[in-house]
Chain A
Amino acid sequence: MPVETSYSALRTPHSALSMRSILHIDMNAFFASVEQRADPKLRDRPMAVGGSSQRGIILSPSYEARAFGVKTGMQYHEARKKCPDIVLVPASPGKYSSACKELITIWERFTPLVELFSIDEAFLDVTGCKSLMGDPVQIAVRLKNEIWEIMGLTCSVGIARNKLLAKLGSDMLKPDGIVLISPGDEEEVLEDLPVKELCGIGPSLTQQLSAMGITTCGKLGRTPLAKLTARFGILGERLREMGQGIDDDPVVSRAEQDEEEAKSVGHSMTLDKDCGDIDMIQRHLLQLCEKVGRRLRRGGYIGHTVSLTLRYADFHTFSRQQRLPRPVDHELDIFATASSILTRISLDQPIRLVGVSVSGLEKQMSQVPLFTDERKRKFTAEAMDDINDRYGDFTVTWGTLAERYHHERVISPAWRPGGDREY
């Protein structure tokens, strides 16, 4: 929902949505490139950044490694089979986070409307900059040059009239490309494009669509609305628009996001596969609660309300919340509440996504509790935070979570740099 802020003057009026110029910037092999930049020995050779556990997976292979067929998500041994000389470097989130901060500084020189989409991706709304800096392609060239000159990193830029198509564009030419999808080309681009290429259409949706005979965006856009809504509910409408390349979602600046986010602290995760097993969901929940607790503590917040968000396999999403008499910042308190909410819900379908958030925030007084058990709990949580801040998420965690530690592809939004989001 657009928020009325001082940025509203920069925002394109609704009537002119189709005239927007949105850039999607996708940093190429970001983690690997940052490591190569930091250590000359890693340059120009196949290397990859991986998770830190023994049975780790590849998080980010360099382009040299990609040439051997090494891909994100591969296990170490698979990667070594493809490329025996590969150098594996453990991930150091702090490094990527500070690189991301540098990037933001550069991007925000072009426009304040920078929406960080992930640690290495952002949307920029440059609609208002055109008279100052030329057409979007010229802006993209300047932007790429600055990133290269200042940071020695390359990126791919997609340019289009909305976020959906801009994101599609940046994916089309990697590495180091600029792709403009102008309104006249949209139909042609989408016609034979497999639906899974669209951001927001995951494997399970792809499968469901293909079962309906819908494989390409062109087909999706032409599918009668009634057919889609019968299957997917409200989402059906959105899917059809996606197939037609329509997307009115605004670029939400970081200042606006902060405003929204400061009111609550939350995390969500899409599960590897849809899951109906309560015990398993509880475990994911604990993991999320740990992250939420940690982020609350880092920001010095305590919150009164715990919300649980669930998304069914069919994308039906809902939230339930509970207000607590005493504000909390400890994962076990958050978990106890979220978990009791969960047990009161009868699940109609397997769960696709779980989210937990704490709102009703207030600044925590750094008061040390009197009772020994509470003090121990507080100090333990703080010690865990210190270790996890230094050595990475879940270095120390709850026993219940230990066995699913290798679920590493979930990159904590803790990387988000700047302001209150830095925790």
Chain B
Amino acid sequence: MKLKIKKDEILKGLQRIQGVVDKKNTMPILSNMLLVADGKGVEIIATDLEIGLRGRYTAEVEKPGAVAVSAKKMFEIVRELPEEDIQIRVDEGNWVKIVSGHSQFKLVGLPKEEYPSMPDVAEEGMIAMDGDTLRDMIKKTLYAAGENDARYVLNGLFVHLSPSKGGLNIRMVGTDGHRLSMIDRIVDAKHKEESVIIPKKAMMELRRLLEEDSSQGGFQIGLSKNHALFKRDGLVMVSKLIDGNYPNYQQVLPTQNTKKVSVSKDIFTHAVKRVSILSKEKTNAVKLQLEKDTLLLSTNNPEVGEANEELSIDYKGESISIGFNSRYLMDVLMAMDKETITLELNDSLSPCLVKEEGNDDYKCVVMPMRV
């Protein structure tokens, strides 16, 4: 293999795969990436056996070939190279030689056959989604998904496709058993009704790709029995699906909450931030008290002190006092985009529904804590 490539071009590819490459070192080969040079340029491929990412980049290929090489070392080297033009050559014994200006590196490589192949997913019934919508949906739900939860289905986003009037309704749901976030968006596409659970890590990587450059447009999404496929020009991501039954999330969405209050997102966010400075470290508990035309926020930590803040609101309903993990509240607030949000409460042990004002397509549920 012998090729010339621009630093920016290969760096983009190396950056993209850093999140995919396995850091737990369960199999040494997985700390590598696969570099493939052919007539059309180069491909950089990485997988942790759950997720695979394949990107194509422009290069002048003199002699095709392929090699597996440390993804981290490649990235660190290329990042520091002095010149725009980089030459890469693979010599006998899979030595990878990188030359730029007066710098030379020789890296140990492995034959391409040792690198696990990415699963082939048939590209049928692909759904086109624009980048902003997809990114937004992920951002608004992923925070609520579980992390290393024993209930493994929670460590992913539930994606439900259903035909609807304006096209195809796409629903994403994330929950960790303490809070839940659900968003619906309609896209112009046709697809049969289907539900899948996509691992959190895949969604995080997808979100990163979407945040890279919004001008690159959206993704084509394909689902097979065991995999999800995300594709755009020169970039393919494949993820295994989580096999299992997602809990009945609809059952926990409150519908009868009568105590409703609207509040400015900014003012509320800052108030929560301030009072939570004195919340108990382990619990992060913040108490909200809803009374006639006021919302009181307070924290009390016997070892440190207490904080109180009063917000004027329009509220005529019954008084209620309810505690929350302030971190959960902040996560919800960060995910909201509208200037005004609404809180819908029932009692101090029942779920609280948070919405953007006038928007019923995005619902967040936060469970209270006892304070």
Which residues of A does B touch, CB under 8 Å?
A: 324-326, 362-363, 365-372, 374, 379
Contacts and interface: CB of A to CB of B under 8 A. Distances in A.
B363 interface: no
Interface size class of B (residues with CB under 8 A): 20 to 34
A324 B151 CA distance: 12
Interface in B143-184: 148-150, 175, 177-180
Nearest to A379: B349
Contacts of B369: 365-368
Contacts of B32: none
B148 A370 contact: no
A372 B177 CA distance: 10
A277 to B, nearest CB: 31
B282 A363 contact: yes
B53 interface: no
Nearest to B370: A366
B371 interface: yes
Given A325-B148, A371-B247, A371-B252, A366 B283 contact: yes
Contacts of A379: 349
Query: Which secondary structure characterizes the binding site on chain B?
Result: loop
A325 B155 CA distance: 13
Given A365-B282, A365-B283, A365-B325, A370 B150 contact: no
Contact of B367 (A362, A363, A367): A367
A371 B370 CA distance: 16
B368 interface: yes
B367 A372 contact: no
B339 to A, nearest CB: 27
Nearest to B324: A367
Given A325-B150, A326-B149, A363-B282, A368 B349 contact: yes
B30 interface: no
B251 interface: yes
Contacts of B86: none
B351 interface: yes
Given A365-B369, A366-B371, A371 B177 contact: yes
Interface string B29-53: 0000000000000000000000000
Contacts of B178: 367, 369-370
Interface of B: 148-150, 175, 177-180, 247-248, 251-252, 282-285, 323, 325, 349, 351, 365, 367-371
B150 A369 contact: no
Given A367-B367, A368-B370, A374 B283 contact: no
A326 B371 CA distance: 23
Contact of A369 (B177, B248, B323): B177
Query: Which secondary structure characterizes the binding site on chain A?
Result: mixed
Contact of A370 (B180, B282, B370): B180
B367 A370 contact: yes
A366 B325 CA distance: 9
Contacts of A366: 283, 285, 323, 369-371
Contacts of B282: 362-363, 365
A369 B283 contact: no
A362 to B, nearest CB: 8
Given A326-B149, A326-B150, A370 B283 contact: no
A173 B165 CA distance: 91
Contacts of B323: 366
Contacts of B371: 366
Contacts of B325: 365, 367
A370 B175 contact: yes
Contacts of A372: 251-252
B144 to A, nearest CB: 10
Contacts of A367: 178, 283, 325, 367, 369
A32 B285 CA distance: 45
Which 9 pairs of residues, A with B, have the shortest CB-CB distance?
A366-B370, A325-B150, A367-B369, A365-B283, A326-B150, A368-B367, A366-B369, A370-B367, A370-B252
B157 to A, nearest CB: 16
A421 B57 CA distance: 66
A379 B347 CA distance: 15
Contacts of B248: 371
Contacts of A325: 148-150
Contacts of B283: 363, 365-367
A370 B365 contact: yes
Contacts of B180: 370
Contact of B351 (A324, A370, A374): A370
10 contacts: A365-B285, A365-B369, A368-B349, A368-B370, A369-B178, A370-B177, A370-B179, A370-B367, A371-B248, A371-B252
A12 B284 CA distance: 45
A368 B177 contact: no
A374 B349 contact: no
A374 to B, nearest CB: 7
Nearest to A362: B282
**Residue of A325, A326, A367, A369 with most chain B CB atoms under a 10 A cut-off:** A367
A368 B283 CA distance: 12
B345 to A, nearest CB: 13
Given A367-B283, A368-B368, 12 more contacts: A326-B150, A363-B283, A365-B282, A366-B283, A366-B285, A366-B371, A367-B178, A368-B349, A370-B177, A370-B178, A370-B367, A374-B177
Contacts of B284: 365
B152 to A, nearest CB: 10
A324 B251 contact: no
B286 to A, nearest CB: 13
Nearest to B148: A325
A326 B152 CA distance: 12
Nearest to A374: B177
Contacts of A363: 282-283
A187 B245 CA distance: 71
A361 to B, nearest CB: 12
A362 B150 CA distance: 18
A368 B348 CA distance: 10
A368 B175 CA distance: 14
Contacts of B349: 368, 379
Contacts of A374: 177
Nearest to B368: A368
A363 B369 CA distance: 14
A365 B325 CA distance: 9
Contacts of B368: 368
A370 B369 CA distance: 11
A383 to B, nearest CB: 12
A367 B369 CA distance: 4
Nearest to A325: B150
A328 to B, nearest CB: 10
B276 to A, nearest CB: 14
Nearest to A369: B177
Contacts of A362: 282
A369 B349 CA distance: 10
Contacts of B179: 370
Contacts of A326: 149-150
